[in-house]
C-alpha cells in the first residue's frame, strides 16, 4: 500500500475517532456550553516550504489562502459562540487567534478581496457590543463610584468620655476658627469615634486628599464671602473623593443631589457630571450654603438644611417654634442623619485644627496644578495621555467629572492637563486629524520593538502604521520615536453604540439630545417619533455621539455574494459613475488616512496623482480621489 494511502487512512481514522468523542460529549453536555475548540491557525503563508521546495507530506490539496480563510472563519464563529454563552475569556482567545492568524500570515490583506473582507469582518466582530470592554477597556463604560463616608458614620452612636470634654474645652480657647464650635455631647461622641482605628483612618484619608484641593476651596470660599471652616463640610460628606456616591444618589466632593445640583448650574450628560468637577461643585456649594444662611441666619441650621433640604428644616422650626439647631436636635424634630450631620462636621473641624493631638498622622497630597485647554473636538483620554507621555490615571484624576474615557464633542469644553504640558499636547495632537481623536492612538517606540510587533499589539497592519507615519515598512525603528497608530474601527470607545434612556420628569427632546450630543431629529428618527412630546417613563433608543455608518455584521452576507460594495463616507462626495473628486489636504492627513476616508487605496490615489511619485504629500495639495464605477 502506498505511503499516501496509509496517511489518508490514518487521517480519516483520526476524524472518525474525534467524531465519536464529540458525539459522546454531546450526550452529556450541560449548560452553559463548553468552550468551543478551534484548530490552530497557520503562523505563516501556506503551503509550508523548506529551502524553497514544497514538502510532499505537508502540501495541501487546496490553495493555502483558502485554508487560512477557513480557519479564521472557524475561530470567529467559535468566538461568537463563546461570547454568546458568556465565556468571555475563551471568546477573547478565539478572536485573538483569528486576528493573529491574519496579521501574522504574511499575506498582503488588501491585495485579496476575500482577505480584506475577512479582516474587516474580524475587526467589526471584535469591536461589537461589549467585546471591546474586555479587550482594552470600553471608553464609554461609566467610571466606578466610591462610597460616600457620610453613609458609614451618620448613623453611628458612640459613648461620651467625660474627661475629653474638659480637655477639648481648654484646647478650643487656643484654636482659630470662623465657625462657632459648640461642644455638646453629640460632638464629643464623634470626637471619641474619630480616635478609634476606623475613625482615624477616615479622618486621615480625607485630610490627606484635602491637600489636593485646599488652596482652591479656600479661594472660592473667600471669593463667595464664606467662613473658611466650611471646607469641613466636604470632609464630612466625601473625604474629598470626587467620585463619591451616597446611598441616596448624591455625588461628588460636596455630595449634590441631581436636582439641587441643576439649581446651581451643575449639569449631567452622558459624557460628564459637573457634580464631580471639584471647582465647579465647590462654587455651587458655596452659593448654596450662602443662600441657606440668608434664609436661616444660623450656620448650624444652614448646614442641617444642606443635608436634608431647607423645607424640612423650616417645617421643624415651624412645628417646634425653635430656630435653634440644638433645640431641634433635643426634640428629635430632624431626621437622625441630619441630627448627627452637624456634630460630625464640628468634630472634624476640631480635629483638623490639630490632628496630631488626636493621634492622626498623614502626609497631605500635593495641590493640583493643571493647564486648562480646549481641544475643540471629542478626544479619547488615552490618546491625550500618550501625546504628553503621562499615565491615563493621572489625566483621569485631573478630570473626575468625565464619566467616560472620551470628552464631549463640545468646542468650549475645557480639559485639565498636568501643569506645563499644554503646548506639547497641541504640538503633538496636530499630527492626527481631529475626527480621528477618538479612534487613533500614539505609541512611543521602546528598545527592541519592531513595526510588526507594534502592529500586532494594536491589531492593525504594519503597512498602515508605516503609511500613517511616512515610514519605509522595512526601516528599523528608533527607540523614543512617537508613532501614530491608525485604528481600523472605533474599537477603544464603542462610539455610537446603542443605549436605552428612560424619560424622566422634565425631559424634553432637546434636553435629552443635548445629553448625548445628538440632534432632536436624530431621536425622532431612531424612535419613530412624530412629535416633540416625551411621555415620562418612555424608553428611547440613543446612539451617543451619533449613529455609526452601517457595517456588515455577518461574514456570510459579505462573502456569499462576492465582494461587498465599498461603504461611502457620509462626509465625502462620491459618484456611482466613476471619475474623480478633488480633496484638499489638511494638517495631519496622509495618503493612508485619505484613502480610508474615501474607502479607496493608497495605490489608487498614487495612480490618479502621478506628481506624488516625486515628492511627499503637503498641506494644501489638491488630490484627485478616484471613485467607484
Task: Give 525-557 pLDDT, tens digit per residue.
Answer: 888 888 888 887 788 888 876 765 443 333 333
Query: What is residue 516's predicted lDDT score, i.e. its pLDDT?
Result: 76
Task: Give 289-344 pLDDT, tens digit per residue.
Answer: 999 999 999 999 999 999 999 999 999 999 999 999 999 999 999 999 999 999 99
- Other Cβ atoms less than 10 A from the Cβ of 507: the count is 17
What's the rounded Cα separation, in Å, for the pair 68 and 213? Answer: 57
Query: What is residue 349's predicted lDDT score, i.e. its pLDDT?
Result: 95
Q: Are 588 and 617 in contact (CB under 8 A)?
A: no
Mean pLDDT of the chain: 77
Length of the chain: 629
Q: Are 293 and 302 in contact (CB under 8 A)?
A: yes
What's the rounded Cα separation, in Å, for the pair 390 and 336? Answer: 46
Coil/strand/helix, residue 416: strand
Residue 5 pLDDT > 80: no
Supply the angle between the helices 278-296 and 231-238 in degrees, to the nearest 10.
110
What's the rounded Cα separation, in Å, for the pair 190 and 417? Answer: 39
Q: What is the mean pLDDT of residues 371-383?
A: 92
Q: Are 545 and 495 in contact (CB under 8 A)?
A: yes
> Cα–Cα–Cα angle for 171, 152, 344, nearest 5°?
25
Helices (H) and strands (E) in the chain, counts: 26, 12
At residue 52 the predicted structure's pLDDT band, cuts being 50, 70 and 90, is very low
Q: Is the pTM of this model over 0.75?
A: no
Query: What is residue 204's predicted lDDT score, i.e. its pLDDT?
Result: 95
Lowest mean pLDDT among 411-425, 429-443, 495-509: 495-509
Supply the angle between the helices 299-308 and 310-320 in degrees, to the nearest 10.
120
Residue 170 pLDDT > 60: yes
What's the rounded Cα separation, in Å, for the pair 173 and 513? Answer: 57
Q: Are 437 and 387 in contact (CB under 8 A)?
A: no
Q: Are 415 and 407 in contact (CB under 8 A)?
A: yes
Query: What is residue 237's predicted lDDT score, i.e. its pLDDT?
Result: 93
Residue 504 pLDDT > 60: yes
Q: Are 293 and 303 in contact (CB under 8 A)?
A: no
Q: What is the mean pLDDT of residues 563-567?
A: 35
Query: What is residue 89's predicted lDDT score, i.e. its pLDDT?
Result: 66
Task: Give 26-46 pLDDT, tens digit per residue.
Answer: 333 333 444 444 445 444 444
At residue 215 the predicted structure's pLDDT band, cuts being 50, 70 and 90, is very high
Query: What is residue 238's predicted lDDT score, i.e. its pLDDT?
Result: 94
Q: Are 438 and 429 in contact (CB under 8 A)?
A: no
Query: What is residue 36's predicted lDDT score, i.e. its pLDDT?
Result: 47
Supply the angle between the helices 185-193 and 162-172 in degrees, to the nearest 10.
100
Query: What is residue 6's predicted lDDT score, i.e. its pLDDT?
Result: 30
Coil/strand/helix, residue 415: strand
At residue 348 the predicted structure's pLDDT band, cuts being 50, 70 and 90, is very high
Coil/strand/helix, residue 542: strand
Task: Give 244-291 pLDDT, tens digit per residue.
Answer: 988 888 999 999 998 899 999 999 887 889 999 999 999 999 999 999
Query: What is residue 615's predicted lDDT score, i.e. its pLDDT?
Result: 65
Residue 22 pLDDT > 60: no
Lowest mean pLDDT among 122-131, 221-230, 237-246: 122-131
Cell of 202: 477616615
Q: What is the mean pLDDT of residues 185-194?
A: 91
Coil/strand/helix, residue 584: strand
* CA-based radius of gyration for the chain: 32
Lowest mean pLDDT among 111-115, 186-190, 387-391: 111-115
Residue 424 pLDDT > 80: yes
Alpha-carbon torsion, ordered 101, 102, 107, 111, to 10 deg = 160
Q: What is the mean pLDDT of residues 147-168?
A: 74
Q: Spell out the residues 6+ positions from residue 111 whose beta carbon is closer than 8 angstroms to its own.
A: none
SS (H, E, C) 256-295: ECHHHHHHCCCCECCCEEHHHCHHHHHHHHHHHHHHHHHH
Amino acid at each position: 500500500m502506498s505511503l499516501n494511502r496509509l496517511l489518508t487512512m490514518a487521517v480519516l481514522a483520526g476524524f472518525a475517532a474525534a467524531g465519536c468523542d464529540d458525539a459522546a460529549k454531546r450526550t452529556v453536555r450541560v449548560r452553559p456550553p463548553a468552550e468551543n475548540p478551534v484548530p490552530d491557525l497557520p503562523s505563516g503563508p501556506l503551503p509550508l516550504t523548506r529551502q524553497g521546495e514544497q514538502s510532499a507530506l505537508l502540501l495541501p490539496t487546496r490553495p493555502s489562502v483558502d485554508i487560512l480563510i477557513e480557519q479564521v472563519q472557524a475561530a470567529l464563529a467559535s468566538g461568537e459562540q463563546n461570547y454568546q454563552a458568556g465565556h468571555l475569556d475563551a471568546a477573547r482567545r478565539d478572536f485573538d487567534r483569528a486576528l493573529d492568524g491574519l496579521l501574522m500570515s504574511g499575506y498582503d490583506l488588501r491585495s485579496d478581496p476575500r482577505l480584506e473582507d475577512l479582516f474587516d469582518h474580524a475587526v467589526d466582530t471584535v469591536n461589537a457590543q461589549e467585546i471591546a470592554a474586555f479587550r482594552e477597556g470600553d471608553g464609554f463604560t461609566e467610571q466606578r463610584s466610591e462610597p460616600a463616608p457620610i453613609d458609614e458614620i451618620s448613623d453611628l452612636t458612640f459613648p461620651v468620655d467625660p474627661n475629653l470634654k474638659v480637655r477639648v474645652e481648654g484646647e478650643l480657647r487656643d484654636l482659630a476658627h470662623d465657625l462657632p464650635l459648640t461642644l455638646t455631647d453629640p460632638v464629643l461622641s464623634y470626637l471619641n469615634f474619630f480616635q478609634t482605628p476606623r475613625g482615624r483612618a477616615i479622618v486621615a484619608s480625607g485630610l490627606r486628599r484635602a491637600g489636593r484641593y485646599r488652596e482652591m476651596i479656600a479661594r472660592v470660599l473667600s471669593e463667595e464671602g464664606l467662613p473658611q471652616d466650611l471646607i469641613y463640610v466636604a470632609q464630612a460628606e466625601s473625604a474629598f473623593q470626587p467620585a463619591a456616591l451616597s446611598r441616596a444618589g448624591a455625588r461628588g466632593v460636596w455630595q449634590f443631589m441631581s436636582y439641587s445640583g441643576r439649581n446651581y448650574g451643575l449639569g449631567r450628560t452622558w459624557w460628564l457630571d459637573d457634580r464631580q468637577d471639584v471647582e465647579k461643585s465647590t462654587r455651587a456649594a458655596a452659593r448654596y450654603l450662602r443662600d441657606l444662611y440668608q434664609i436661616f441666619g444660623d450656620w448650624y441650621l444652614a448646614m442641617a438644611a444642606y443635608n436634608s433640604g431647607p423645607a424640612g428644616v423650616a417645617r421643624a422650626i415651624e412645628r417646634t417654634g425653635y430656630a435653634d439647631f440644638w433645640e431641634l436636635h433635643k426634640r428629635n424634630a430632624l431626621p437622625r442623619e441630619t441630627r448627627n450631620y452637624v456634630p460630625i462636621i464640628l468634630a472634624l473641624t476640631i480635629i483638623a485644627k490639630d490632628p496630631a493631638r488626636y493621634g492622626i498622622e498623614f502626609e497631605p497630597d500635593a495641590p493640583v496644578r493643571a493647564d486648562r485647554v480646549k481641544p475643540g473636538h471629542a478626544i479619547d483620554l488615552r490618546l491625550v495621555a500618550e501625546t504628553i507621555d503621562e499615565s491615563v490615571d493621572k489625566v483621569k484624576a485631573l478630570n473626575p467629572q468625565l464619566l467616560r474615557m472620551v470628552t464631549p464633542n463640545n468646542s468650549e469644553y475645557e480639559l485639565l492637563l498636568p501643569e506645563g504640558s499644554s503646548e506639547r499636547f497641541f504640538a503633538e495632537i496636530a499630527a492626527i486629524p481631529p475626527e480621528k481623536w477618538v479612534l487613533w492612538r500614539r505609541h512611543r517606540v521602546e528598545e527592541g520593538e519592531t513595526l510588526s510587533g507594534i502592529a500586532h499589539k494594536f491589531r492593525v497592519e504594519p503597512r498602515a502604521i508605516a503609511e500613517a507615519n511616512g515610514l519605509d515598512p522595512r526601516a528599523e525603528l528608533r527607540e523614543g520615536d512617537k508613532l501614530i497608530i491608525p485604528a481600523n474601527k472605533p474599537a477603544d470607545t464603542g462610539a455610537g453604540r446603542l443605549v436605552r434612556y428612560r424619560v424622566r420628569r422634565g425631559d424634553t427632546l432637546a434636553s435629552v439630545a443635548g445629553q448625548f450630543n445628538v440632534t432632536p431629529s436624530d431621536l425622532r428618527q431612531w424612535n419613530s417619533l412624530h412629535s416633540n412630546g416625551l411621555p415620562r417613563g418612555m424608553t428611547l433608543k440613543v446612539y451617543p455621539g451619533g449613529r455609526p455608518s452601517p457595517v456588515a455584521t455577518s461574514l456570510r452576507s459579505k462573502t456569499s455574494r462576492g465582494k461587498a460594495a465599498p461603504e461611502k463616507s457620509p462626509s465625502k462626495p462620491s459618484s456611482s459613475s466613476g471619475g474623480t473628486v478633488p480633496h484638499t489636504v489638511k494638517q495631519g492627513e496622509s495618503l493612508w488616512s485619505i484613502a480610508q476616508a474615501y474607502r479607496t487605496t493608497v495605490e489608487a490615489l498614487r495612480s490618479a496623482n502621478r506628481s506624488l511619485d516625486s515628492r511627499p504629500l503637503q498641506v494644501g495639495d489638491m488630490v484627485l480621489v478616484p471613485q467607484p464605477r
